[in-house]
Structure 1
Amino acid sequence: MDASETNAAGTDTAQAGATAARGADAHLAMAQGIFYVGTGVWPIVSLKTFMMVTGPKVDGWLVKTVGALITVVGAALYRAGKRNRVSQEMALLGAGCAVALTAVDVYYVARRRIAKVYLLDALAETGILVAWGALARPLARRA
């Protein structure tokens, strides 16, 4: 018996597994994209409400710049997921941003430079990172 088998519906099980993995990475990219677009646009649209939740900031222009960059990353992830074209590079972008934002959140909360509310973002980013990690094997097999 070879590595590829057919299930009761006549579908190649190896192909079905690959399709399921593609679906999962597309959904993850879209979810992360929505999260990033929402959190990225927020300080651009209303810096006042953003600072009401996250605490005062010295340089509003810098907060808006970071928001713009997070928005662009989110839009790219969402589009890749929507088109079902989540490459290893897009997965790296998603996971890498989650690592970077988690590190910044934890580091600066620990030094009391930013408010503890950023730990909620670190928790969300960690969840995103765990999800990308769970998909790492199916993505590597597709390469």
Structure 2
Amino acid sequence: MGEGSGKRSGAARLALWHGAFNVLSGVWPLVHLPSFEKVSGPKEDDWLVRTVGGLLAGIGWSQLRGAATAEGRVHARRVGVATAATLAVIDVVYVARRRIRPVYLLDAAVEAAWIVAWWRAGAHGNGGGPQAPAVPSGERRSVSA
């Protein structure tokens, strides 16, 4: 399937779904903190909850934008896996320490599912995007922003 074929690749769909999930997860505490705290438990630092929410929304927006191109999907995958792994580890560690409610284990499971989904998309050849060209030994590759 080419970029203009009308059908989205599995990685493009995954970038859209994961991006939408992250945007919605991030916007929730920004829009209605009381309902967020009713589910997740009271928080001491509202500013920190809102900061994380804003970061998640930004990550999700970046994933949504990245879905359109192969290079963007590589970015969506990297940021998606890094975000999901971070959130899952924090969820598990702080539930175990009894600092956050066990409901966060549901989030950890969802985050693990995103990681598996990205892994599967890459394993089927449609999530990894373009491969970097091989660099002969002794040569350096320049990094551009």
Residue of structure 2 in register with 1:48 after alignment: 34
Residue of structure 2 in register with 1:142 after alignment: 130
Map residues 58-77 of structure 1 onto 2, 5 A cutoff: 58-77=44-63
Rg: which structure is higher?
Answer: 1
TM-score (norm 2): 0.78
Contact 1:40–1:68 (Cα < 8 Å) also in 2: yes
Map residues 1-143 of structure 1 onto 2, 5 A cutoff: 23-81=9-67, 83-85=68-70, 86-137=72-123, 138=125, 139-140=127-128, 142-143=130-131
Structure 1 pair 114–140 and aligned structure 2 pair: CA distance change class (3 A): same
CA drift at 1:134: 1.1
The structure in which a higher percent of residues are helix is: 1
Two-structure CA RMSD over aligned residues (Å): 1.8
Q: Where does structure 1 lack aligned partners over 5 or more consecutive residues?
A: 1-14
CA drift at 1:88: 2.3
TM-score (norm 1): 0.79
Return the alpha-carbon distance in structure 2 between the equivalents of residues 79 and 28 of structure 1. 12
Return the alpha-carbon distance in structure 2 between the equivalents of residues 47 and 131 of structure 1. 30
CA drift at 1:142: 2.6
Contact 2:63–2:75 (Cα < 8 Å) also in 1: no
Tell me which amino acid in the other structure corresponds to 1:60.
Answer: D
Q: Where does structure 2 lack aligned partners over 5 or more consecutive residues?
A: 132-145
CA drift at 1:76: 0.8
- Deviating beyond 6 angstroms after TM superposition, the runs of 4 or more aligned structure 1 residues are none
Cα distance per residue 1:91-114 (max 9 Å; x no partner): 111111111110011110111100
